[in-house]
Chains A and B, each alone.
Chain A
Amino acid sequence: MTAKPEATQSAGRIEGGIDAIVIGASADGLAAAAYLGKAGLRTLLLEESAEIGGPVRARDIAPGVAGVDGEHLVRILDPDVINELELYRHGVNYAARRLDSVYYFDDGETLHLDGDLQHAADLMLDDDTRDQFGTFMREALELAAFLRPTFAPLRSTEDAQSTKQALDKSVRQASPEISALIARYALASIEDVLNASFDDGPIKTLLTSEAAFLSGAAPHEAFSFMGFLRCLAGETAGLQGAVAYPDGGVVSIINSLRRAVQAAKVEIRAAAPVKSILIEWDRAAGVVLQGGGQVRAPIIVNALDASRAYLDMIGPDALDIEFQRMLTAPQSHLASARLQITLRGVAKDEATKENLRRRLVFSPPPNDVRRAFIDARAGRIPESAIVEAIFPGALDTDAAVDGGQILSIVAHPFPFDQAPDARRRNEISTVILAALEKIAPGISEQVDVIDLRLPCDLAKVTGANIAAYAAKPTIMQQWALAGTAVSASDIGGVYFCGPEAQIGSGISCTAGKNAAKAALREFKKEGGAP
């Protein structure tokens, strides 16, 4: 997009006639704008950079080699958003609707797991393992589905109260089986749950990795298992707990959201940074642009991180002190690393090709995972990490590189560094490559280009507060933060759907949907007629 710098367009101007302004064209910002526009509100979407998509954006990682920053798989994309915004019509198409996973262990063993977790145990040969794993997955998926409504951010204290009451009621009325599952799983640590369910072995090892992956809570911490349940509550491509790869990569989700926004007749204004939000009599009245102009609207939906959305754009003097304290509370000390590498000379036999169309996971032993969390939290680069790798070129022919492959990797956990130097970056890459050697011995010799992205790199590109890209803490802490953040300090007309509003990691759009729906409810209540 070649937008004219907003400063020259809007200096000194006051624009009106707009019902809603969405700040930030991340996935949630786009979803919110699409909902508002679709409901008939005259909506303006303001994005400070020239590109939309927030941290998810296409970028050349080497000359002529296109990569995608941000997520590389879809886990928890809200099915309501797909249906209500007609994202399939706007271009969402899955190259792989449920990726099978192959787990590689420290001792050289491997285990293939079907992408359909409901039936993953069926393929297992050993009777005992099949029964144990089958029972565990069935229970975990059942409980995750039961808890799904609680993983949506709430609009306000009143919403929180009513949701809590609804949850209390449903827990009281839950079947004895569900009650038993809640008692067994919901409050426990990953280690406690898995130790109680499995003997030492590959199943326990892979589940430890899956449950601890992307989490800011160490596997031995209370409530950490709830993070895994949140992942399992996702229903990507119609299959609970599945992991999917969209045609064109995750950036295609952004593109389809953009088409939904355009279809909803929302004006997208890129390169239009917002300086502040106008608050008049404790109500939103519009925004002041960096260029000096004003755009007035009674509804502001903010998809930026909470620090910028509130402390920078509204200012502490308009916020309650308790709200400010919550926003500035210490965040996670952990982060994930995203690595994209180009490989040359990948074998082209059918067996290799088939494996390249799977999700490849290196699962360190549970004790190593625990030690990795302790090291990373202390600021040390861990000796081993959980590594998830996919070959986009094998899944999606458009992503293929002439004569080679791109390997897209997410590794976890690493220290949350504000500004890591080259030596530290190199150490992180080395740990990831060592894990890749367990997946494909000798792979280091085939590496052409290594592109490492850490939270500080994403923050630099998007302008966000770096803390927004730290690993998410326990679900309990996420609930508390999300509940506070979306309450928008009770300023009328301000709605929030930034990263802090989301429960769980990955593209979801639930926060954007909820913010827009809350705004529409309020708009109608106050006599607005979209």
Chain B
Amino acid sequence: MIFPAADIIADAPRPTPLFSAAASASNANIWTSINGWSASRVMTSIESEYEAAKAGAVIADLGPIARYAVRGSDAPAFLARVTTAPAQRLDPGDSARGLVLDDRGGVIDLAEVSRLSSDLFLLTTPTAHARRLKMAARGMDAIADDITEQVAVLGIFGPEASEALSAAGLKMPGDIVAASGMVRGVETAARPIQFGALPGVELIFPKEEALTVWGRLLRRGKVTPIGLDALEVLRLESGAPRPGVDFIAADRARPGAVRTPFELGLAHLAPLDRGGFNGRRGLRRRALESKRRLITLSIDDDASMPGAAVFAQGKSVGRITSCAWSPAIRRVVAFADISGDCADTNYEIAIPAPADGRVTARVFETAESALALDFRRSQNAATDFRL
């Protein structure tokens, strides 16, 4: 799950249930605000946290991300309406990713839907959508309870995440399927998540148990706390766009800044033949137009340059929206918002003063872009249902 953009004006952010635990673990003590909640940017160092995620297991406080428990006989239809996730096809234990779209087919947010049992779904979105969900539930037998403030949420990622959970005695079927139940006397929900190529598990439990579970994982599971900045590197490597950074939510964007799933490289998350999700008609109208493209680039440089101009064949075609140094490829990985008619693989990026100049960059394939490519190929092979 992706964190949204940090709040621009953070007026006394609230502590998450895991705040004191994270604060104890944070040597760097660098904080930001996400959705009005405190979030640690760096625990020890970005490099050490990144390495731990790649080689071992890391633990992150996912409390600032919005969560809703969805119940009711129309819950699958409701979720299939408010998100593009195929909620009606999910069996208990299944999870699916999707998008939240507006009526023009513009992307408002990312979404993940898990079916914890026959009558209980979990909806997770980077930003909160309580009003929207309330409106969407009118006329349907579905209730979306905002549980963000009632629960503590931990993400455990990395190749050794499963072992860490076992060592802490918190092993649930959650690393394979979404499930809920009692673990060591604590009511817990778990579901598998992925951060790019990193497998992981998300544990959701009552906020009163937050410090106990965190402490247990730290003591027995041998996990390393990770902050947002290291997660940001992993996010960029995985190719997942960040709401508020790589695109502006369609319900807040000016008309020219609205982005469709096609433009964000996320068409595979909103296939037009997938049921009746909100915005499908608007999306169908705009399916064949792609005014902008969000691409991932690897840049031959070691400096981060959000906002830097992107050039193709000497012409300015867009800007870098987010970037970070990737220890894995030893280059900067970046998202760039470029003109839709630009199909080059090689670009140049402007370097600001005092260096002034341009460095080369090329399109970088990520897990997400590979999924989008597969989807596009499958669409081209099938009858074009959009016509």
Contact = CB atoms under 8 A, between A and B. Distances in A.
B103 A317 contact: no
Given A316-B136, A316-B138, A316-B140, A321 B281 contact: no
A322 B102 CA distance: 7
Contact of B281 (A311, A324, A328, A489): A489
A316 to B, nearest CB: 4
A282 interface: yes
A317 B281 contact: no
Given A315-B139, A316-B140, A321 B282 contact: no
Contact of A328 (B78, B81, B135, B276): B135
B81 A317 contact: yes
Contacts of A317: 74, 77-78, 81, 139-140, 276
Contact of A320 (B139, B140, B281): B281
Interface residues of A, number: 16
Q: Is the interface of A mostly helix, strand, loop or mixed?
A: helix
B87 interface: no
Contacts of B377: none
Main SS of chain B's interface residues?
Answer: helix
Interface string B279-290: 111101100000
Given A316-B140, A490-B282, A491-B281, A321 B135 contact: yes
Contact of A318 (B74, B136, B276, B282): B276
A317 B88 CA distance: 13
Residue among B74, B82, B138, B281 facing the most chain A CB atoms (10 A cut-off): B281
Given A282-B281, A490-B281, A491-B281, A321 B132 contact: yes
B33 interface: no
Interface in B267-281: 276, 278-281
Contacts, number: 48
Given A282-B281, A318-B276, A323 B138 contact: no
A311 B136 CA distance: 12
A282 B103 contact: no
Give the interface centre of A315, A323, A490 by most chain B CB atoms within 10 Å: A490
A307 to B, nearest CB: 11
Contacts of B132: 321
Contacts of A423: none
Contacts of B135: 321, 324-325, 328
Interface in B92-109: 102-103
Residue from A311, A318, A320, A321 with most neighbouring chain B CB atoms (10 Å): A321
A311 B282 contact: no
Given A317-B139, A489-B281, 5 more contacts: A316-B136, A316-B139, A489-B103, A490-B285, A491-B281
- Complex A-B, nearest 7 residue pairs according to Cβ-Cβ distance, in ascending order: A320-B103, A316-B139, A322-B103, A490-B281, A321-B136, A321-B278, A325-B135
24 contacts: A282-B280, A282-B284, A315-B139, A316-B136, A316-B139, A316-B140, A317-B78, A317-B81, A320-B102, A320-B278, A320-B279, A321-B81, A321-B82, A321-B136, A322-B103, A324-B135, A324-B136, A325-B135, A328-B138, A489-B103, A489-B281, A490-B103, A490-B282, A490-B285
Interface of B: 74, 77-78, 81-82, 102-103, 132, 135-136, 138-140, 276, 278-282, 284-285
